[in-house]
Amino acid sequence: MILHDFTGRAEVIEPLLPAMFTIISENMSEICPSENTLEEDRLSWTQAMHEELRNPEKHWIFIFSGEALAGYTLYRIIGDTLHMDEIQISKPFQGDGRAFPMLMGKLLADAGAAGVETLVSYANRQNLTSQGILAAMGLRVYEETPRGLRYRGRAEDAQAWYYTKYVAI
């Protein structure tokens, strides 16, 4: 398994969009099924990603197992805040103990290098795994929306959680 940071490389990321959509749509169909058709979702998601490709603040991190895309994480660093926009791991690699720590380790290392103090994220109300992980990382709900929960926490707490869980022996 290998991690690639393709931030700023739209020409490399663009061909990966179909594989990214396959992962997110398969994951989300279980957690919070869409009311639209797959084609509608594909079009709107792809359009949103094309807009994000022009966003200089967006970080694009990928994990491959051989040729196959195993997962990815997307985040933005704005001032001292890191916005965790997405972490998606393909079903066969979920719970393998490698993909998740690789992606989260990269995100937290970048946060540290950029002097990030605060992490923010969002979880759909139906996504209990996401809520569990965010809480374990030390993030707390600061706002509720009709469909989800907005989280905020200290990067230091998340780094301590990561260190204890994956680094310390």
Ligand X SMILES: CC(C)(COP(=O)(O)OP(=O)(O)OC[C@H]1O[C@@H](n2cnc3c(N)ncnc32)[C@H](O)[C@@H]1OP(=O)(O)O)[C@@H](O)C(=O)NCCC(=O)NCCS
Task: Give the C-alpha separation, 63 to 105, whole Å.
Answer: 12
Residue 24 · residue 42 · CB < 8 Å: no
Instruction: Give yes or no for residue 94 binding ligand X (CB under 6 A).
Output: yes
Interactions with ligand X, residue window 32-61 (CB under 6 A): none
133 binds ligand X (CB under 6 A): yes
Tokens of 27: 């994951």
**∠ CA(73), CA(31), CA(97), 5° rounding?**
50
Give the interface segment with ligand X, choosing from 3-11, 54-62, 122-130, 138-146 (CB under 6 A).
122-130
Is 122 a binding residue for ligand X by CB under 6 A? The answer is no
- Cα separation, 53 vs 16, whole angstroms: 12
Judged by CB under 6 A, the residue of 72, 130, 148, 162 near ligand X is: 130
Looking at beta carbons only, is 116 or 130 nearer to ligand X?
Answer: 130
Count other Cβ atoms within 10 Å, centred on residue 44: 12
Spatial distance between the Cα atoms of 16 and 115, rounded to a whole number of angstroms: 30
Q: How many CA atoms lie within 13 A of 141 on its CB side?
A: 11
Binding mask of the shown chain, residues 13 to 32, with x at each position contacting ligand X by CB under 6 A: --------------x---x-
Which of 8, 92, 95, 115 touches ligand X by CB under 6 A?
A: 95
Which is nearer to ligand X, 115 or 145 (by Cβ)? 145
Q: Of the two residues 87 and 120, which places its CB atom closer to ligand X in the complex?
A: 87
159 near ligand X (CB under 6 A) = no
Q: How far apart are CA 97 and CA 27, in angstroms?
A: 18
Q: Which residues bind ligand X (CB under 6 A)?
A: 27, 31, 87-89, 94-95, 97, 99-100, 127-130, 132-133, 136
